[in-house]
Amino acid sequence: MSKKIYLAGPEVFLPNAREMLARKAELARAAGFEPLSPGDLEIPVADTKKGLGYAISAVDERMMLEADAIIANLTPFRGIAADTGTTFELGFMCALGKAVFAYTNVAANHYRRVVAHYHGEVSKGDDGHLRGPDGLSVEDFDMIDNLMLHGGVERRGGTVIVGHAAPDALYTDLTAFKTCLAVAADRLL
Amino acid sequence: MSKKIYLAGPEVFLPNAREMLARKAELARAAGFEPLSPGDLEIPVADTKKGLGYAISAVDERMMLEADAIIANLTPFRGIAADTGTTFELGFMCALGKAVFAYTNVAANHYRRVVAHYHGEVSKGDDGHLRGPDGLSVEDFDMIDNLMLHGGVERRGGTVIVGHAAPDALYTDLTAFKTCLAVAADRLL
C-alpha cells in the first residue's frame, strides 16, 4: 500500500490553483506517494456560503484522517505569518501522530519578519523581553513561524525546510517543496 | 472531577501577559472550569533559543492533551488573521475530539478584512472568483477566519462568538471571552 501525503498550503488561493496543486501532486507521485490535496476535491454543493465552507472543511479533514503524512507550506501569506488554514491543518496532523513536514519560501525567519513589521522599532522592555512599539513581545526562537508550528514539527522528528524564492515566485517556486518531499520520501518510503 | 479548559490566544505576547492570563483563568475558575494556560508554565530551562521554543511547545501540547476543551482567541494578530500558534492549537484540539470554542474581538469578518487589506480593490476573475490585485482569491464564507477554523469549530458543535472591542482594547476586552466561556460552561458542566 502506498503512503498518502496531504499537501497543505495557500496554493488554493492562487489564480492558477489547479495547475499548482497538480504540479505538486505530480511531484509527490513521482516521489512514490499518493498525494491528497484540496485540488482533488469536487466542490460540494451547499445552500449557503457557510454551508459551502463547512463542506470544504469536512472534505479536507477527511483527507487528513486518511493521510499518513503532511507537507505544510508555511510561506507567509497576506502578512508576516503562515496561512491560518494551513497552520490549523498542521496542528491537526501533529495531534493525530502523523508524520509532519513543513517548508517556507521566505528565508527571513519569524524574528526578522516581525522586526521588519515594526520597521526595526524593537526594544527591550523592563521585563527583558524585546517588544514592538505596540508593546507586543517579539519572539526570537530561531524559528520560521510561531514556536508551536516549528517546534511541533521538529519535536516529532519532522523536518522544516527553508527556501528562498524570488518575491514574484513566493507561491509558485517549488524548490523547497521538492527538498521537503525528498526528505519525507527518504523517511517514509 | 472538574473539567479542564485550555485558554489559547495571543495574550502571551502582551506587556501585561501574566495579568491578562490570570484574569482569564480566574473567570474560567468562576465558571466552574479548571483553567490551563501558557501563563501557568514556569519557563523551562534550555541552552539555545530553539531549545527554549521546543520546551514551551512541549509544555503547551501536554496541557492540551490534559484539557477537555479549548477556548481559542482568534482575534486578528499583527495582520488580518488569527495568531498562528493559536490556530495550530485549535487544529490540534479538533483532531483530538476535544470540545472546541472560539471567539474574536473584531466584528468585521474574514471577507471584510481581506477586502480592506486590498483597499477595496477586489474584482471578479474570469473563473468567477473574487480576487485581489495580486490574483489571490478572496474567500467569502460568512466566517471569522479561514474556513478550516470557523468550520472546524461549528461542524463539531462548538460555538464561535463575535465581539466588537475598541481598537485599543483588542487584546484586553474580555466581553466575547466571557460569553464564550458561559456557552462552554452551559455545554460541558
Q: How far is CA B126 from CA A19, A51, B123, B135, in A?
A: 16, 24, 10, 11
> DSSP readout, B100-134?
EEEEES--S-HHHHHHHHTTT--EE-TTS-EE-TT
Write out pLDDT tens, residues A158-182: 999 999 999 999 999 999 999 999 9
Read off the C-alpha cell for B44: 523551562
> Which candidate in A84, A114, A115, A172 is best for mutational testing of the B interface (most B CBs within 10 A)?
A84
The distance of A12 to chain B (nearest Cα, Å) reads 8
The helix or strand, by DSSP H or E, that contains position B180, with its residue range, turns out to be helix B175-188
Residues in B closer than 8 angstroms to A84, CB to CB, are 81-82, 84, 87, 145-146, 148-149
Q: Identify the DSSP state of A79.
A: B
Q: Do A84 and B141 touch (CB under 8 A)?
A: no
Distance in angstroms (rounded) separating the CA atoms of residues A72 and A88 = 10
- Tell me the CATH number at A158: 3.40.50.450
What pLDDT is attached to residue B40?
Answer: 61
The sign of the CA dihedral A162, A82, A139, B58 is negative
Question: What percentage of chain B has pLDDT greater than the value 70?
Answer: 97
A31 and A84 belong to one structural domain: yes
DSSP state of B45: P
Distance CA B31, CA A3 (A): 45
Q: How many CB pairs under 8 A join A and B?
A: 186
The reply to whether residue A84 touches residue B149, judged by beta carbons under 8 angstroms, is: yes
Query: Binning pLDDT at 50, 70 and 90, where does residue B129 land?
Result: confident
In terms of domains, do B164 and B138 share one? no
Inter-chain touch B79–A84, beta carbons under 8 Å: no
Q: What average pLDDT does chain A have? A: 95
Tell me the pairing of strands A160-162 and A130-131.
Answer: unpaired
For residues A55 and A93, state if they share a domain: yes
Chain A residues with CB inside 8 Å of B87's CB? 84, 87-88, 91
Same domain, B72 and B156: yes
Residues A52, A134 within the same domain: no
Residues A52 and A116 in one domain: no
A-chain residues near B83 (CB < 8 A): 81, 146
Same domain, A123 and A47: no
- Same structural domain, B123 and B161: no
The answer to whether residues B72 and B102 touch, using CB atoms and an 8 Å cutoff, is: yes
Nearest CB neighbour to B155, from listed A52, A54, A81: A54
Global pTM reads 0.97
How many domains would you assign to chain B? 2
Kindly state whether residues B91 and B178 are assigned to the same domain. yes
Q: Do residue B115 and residue B70 come from a single domain?
A: no
Determine whether A108 is exposed, middle or buried from the number of CB atoms within 10 Å of its CB (0-12, 13-18, 19+): middle
- In chain B, residues with a C-beta closer than 8 Å to the C-beta of A137 are 12-15, 17
Confidence category of residue A144, pLDDT binned at 50, 70, 90: very high
Its domain, for residue A121, covers 110-143
pLDDT of residue A38: 77
Going by C-beta distance under 8 Å and a sequence separation of 6 or more, which residues neighbour residue B188? B3, B33, B68, B69, B99
The rounded percent of chain A whose pLDDT value lies above 70 is 97
Task: Say yes or no for a CB contact (<8 Å) between A53 and B142.
Answer: yes
Same domain, B170 and B155: yes
State the DSSP string of A19-64: HHHHHHHHHHHHTT-EEE-GGGPPPPP-SSHHHHHHHHHHHHHHHH
Q: Tell me: the pLDDT tens digits for B34-80?
A: 999 976 666 778 899 999 999 999 999 999 999 999 999 999 999 99
Q: Does pLDDT of A55 surpass 80? A: yes
* Lookup: cell for B76: 486578528
User: B73 with B164, same domain?
Assistant: yes
CB contact under 8 A, B95 and A92: yes
